[in-house]
Amino acid sequence: MQQDLEKAKDKANNHAPPYINSPQMSAEERQHFQNHLQRQLNQISGAVRAGPLHHSPLIEPFQTRHNNDIQAKLQRAFVERDFEFLKFLSYEDLQQRMVNLDTEMDREIDELKRRYQTKRQPILDAMDQKRKRQQNF
């Protein structure tokens, strides 16, 4: 099994598409691609190790896997401030993101308001209690 992974890794490194080894690809892009490839190999090896004994679903429907991948990239992009992956999305995916953006942002704003109020309320309550105690003196 380990030999198969090594062969796949060697094959991927030696038989990379021409654009990967081309001078147009920066060292950073090449490193990003290699990191992505390594993550995929690790995921494959993890799935193979899980095997049928664990009954883990090894194959997800393409659309679910595609959406999860895009969502994970978007979350990483905010943390790392790297939005390079957006240029690889299809036009339809980008349009769909724009359509959903307002709804998602409204949901996030509502969540932030709720969290703000949850943190703020105990402080307001404590201030009211202090004010009432001071009035009693």
State the pLDDT at residue 117: 95
List the domain boundaries for the chain: 1-59, 60-88, 90-137
Q: What is the pTM of this model?
A: 0.37
The string of DSSP letters for the chain reads -HHHHHHHHHHHHHT--HHHHSTTS-HHHHHHHHHHHHHHHHHHHHHHHHTGGGT------HHHHHHHHHHHHHHHHHHHT--GGGGGS-HHHHHHHHHHHHHHHHHHHHHHHHHHHHHHHHHHHHHHHHHHHHHH-
pLDDT tens digits, one per residue of 60-112: 555 566 667 767 766 776 667 777 777 888 899 889 888 988 999 999 999 99
State the pLDDT at residue 18: 47
State the pLDDT at residue 58: 47
State the pLDDT at residue 25: 65
Is pLDDT of 5 > 80?
no
pLDDT tens digits, one per residue of 28-74: 777 777 777 777 766 666 544 444 444 444 445 555 666 677 677 66
